[in-house]
Amino acid sequence: MVRPWRMGQGHPSISSLLFFSLVMVGPVGRVAGRARLLAGVRSWQNRHVTYNFSSGPAALPAELVNRIQEELPDWHGTGMPVMTLSHRGPDFVALMEQDIMQGGGMGQFAAVPLNLTLPGDEVATVVTGRWGLTAAEEAERLGLTVRRVADQAADRYTSVPAEGSWTVPTSARYLYYVPNETIGGVEFPYQPVSPVPLVADASSQILSQPMDLAAHGVVFAGTQKNLGVAGAVVVIVERELLGRARPGCPSILDYTRGAKAGSMLNTPTTFAVYVLDLMLDWVAGQGGVEAMRTRSLERAGLVYSLIDASGFYANPVDPSARSTKNIPFTLADPALDPVFLAESEQAGLAFLGGHRSVGGMRASLYNAMPLAGAQALVDFMRDFERRHG
Ligand SMILES: Cc1ncc(COP(=O)(O)O)c(C=O)c1O
């Protein structure tokens, strides 16, 4: 039996928030290195962090943090923390019925090919950044011919190809794209159409704006940005695409097996599921995805306006493809980068360093970032330019 995404009493699902109902499954969790985590805690413990601009794990809404703190010792009268409940017990199963998922994001780079292709098949991709490249490489490792029907390498991944400027061979098993490239800060301003199933890595875009799920065969998104905390990935699969996993596909990556098992082939990342449930409620309570889009535009508009008005800061992305979630920027003098980072941390603006592969700065502004956070960043940037520009 394939279990559809089921909405719990009064609880929204991602599909309902995006207005369509498909099937959701998800594999594999990932565990961060304990030593690295502890090092991070040590370096931050004495600072007063006001706003978190990390690309993920990302900020949670303040009211959610308070709620988690309140209900941690006693989840819904069970007398126990939610992540210590049996995932087979009725209390937790009820939660999973509202939010069917588990797993980790990068696993989908393998899961998509394993579920939709056979070795030797051809797939198509539009590459607009690092995550699309990594996914293409993984597909190649799994024996696929990856046809890059558009690749923005010549622009150093600072643009999106013009709508309709590429052709997808109908022999391709799917067309893959990343609606929002988190590292480069490049976002599709339009919805690609495809003659073959469309696969979207919506990790840094999901629930920040409406998305036409019906146009897609597969949509996946890690939970550590707009959906709560790290450790899980939400996967939305068109029902018709189930039952096609290649022989030898590991069970934990098999969409059909996962769906049949209610996303509980193994022990789910229970805390991530719990926070996802809270996040979906929160988004719905804030006015839903349309409200998220309005706020996203407002936040990003503040930062881009400052950058564009300044000769000191620059954003390398083609204005028509600028991300409203991740804004990379450089300073006129890169020697000032460490000073900017140190001073911004002191000012309570955390994690503004760019991805290690590109350097510079990056401000990630997901749903949990209040407008006041973007304003605080802009105020700081203006002041920094005045003092150092
Ligand atoms: C667009 C995108 N895809 C995939 C990933 C990888 O996700 P994970 O770290 O959960 O494997 C990321 C991580 O930031 C991302 O931004």
Pocket of ligand 1 contains residue 27 by CB under 6 Å: no
325 a catalytic residue:
no
3 state SS for the chain: CCCCCCCCCCCCCHHHHCCCCCEEECCCCCCCCHHHHHHHHHHHCCCCCCEECCCCCCCCCHHHHHHHHHHCCCHHHCCCCHHHCCCCCHHHHHHHHHCCCCCCCCHHHHHHHHHHCCCCCEEEEEECCHHHHHHHHHHHHCCCEEEEEEEHHHHCCCCCCCCCCCCCCCCCCCEEECCEECCCCEECCCCCCCCCCEEEECCCCCCCCCCCHHHCCEEEEECCCCCCCCCCEEEEECHHHCCCCCCCCCHHHCHHHHHHCCCCCCCCCHHHHHHHHHHHHHHHHCCHHHHHHHHHHHHHHHHHHHHHHCCCEECCCCHHHECCCEEEEEECCHHHHHHHHHHHHHCCEECCECCCCCCCEEEECCCCCCHHHHHHHHHHHHHHHHHHC
Q: What pLDDT is recorded for position 18? A: 63
Q: What pLDDT is recorded for position 54? A: 96
Q: What pLDDT is recorded for position 34? A: 39
Pocket of ligand 1 contains residue 29 by CB under 6 Å: no
Q: Which CATH superfamily is domain 288-388 in?
A: Aspartate Aminotransferase, domain 1 (3.90.1150.10)
Pocket of ligand 1 contains residue 179 by CB under 6 Å: no
Closest CA to 197 of 211, 221, 214, 222: 214
| pLDDT one digit per residue (tens) for the chain, 389 residues | 222 233 334 556 766 666 433 344 433 222 233 344 444 444 545 556 689 999 999 999 999 999 999 999 999 899 999 888 888 887 777 666 544 656 567 899 999 999 999 999 999 999 999 999 999 999 999 999 999 999 999 999 999 999 999 999 999 999 999 999 999 999 999 999 999 999 999 999 999 999 999 999 999 999 999 999 998 899 999 999 999 999 999 998 999 988 888 888 888 888 998 999 999 999 999 999 999 999 999 999 999 999 999 999 999 999 999 999 999 999 999 999 999 999 999 999 999 999 888 889 999 999 999 999 999 999 999 999 999 98
201 a catalytic residue:
yes
What's the gap in Å between 222 CA and the centre of ligand 1? 7
What CATH topology corresponds to 1-50+63-287? Answer: Aspartate Aminotransferase; domain 2 (3.40.640)
Q: What pLDDT is recorded for position 16? A: 67
Q: What pLDDT is recorded for position 8? A: 35
Domain positions in the chain are 1-50+63-287, 288-388
Pocket of ligand 1 contains residue 326 by CB under 6 Å: no
Alpha carbon separation from 276 to 39, 53, 224, 381 (Å, rounded): 26, 20, 9, 33
Q: What's the half-sphere exposure (Cβ side, CA atoms, 13 Å) at 29?
A: 19
Distance CA 64, CA 275 (A): 8
Q: What pLDDT is recorded for position 37? A: 43
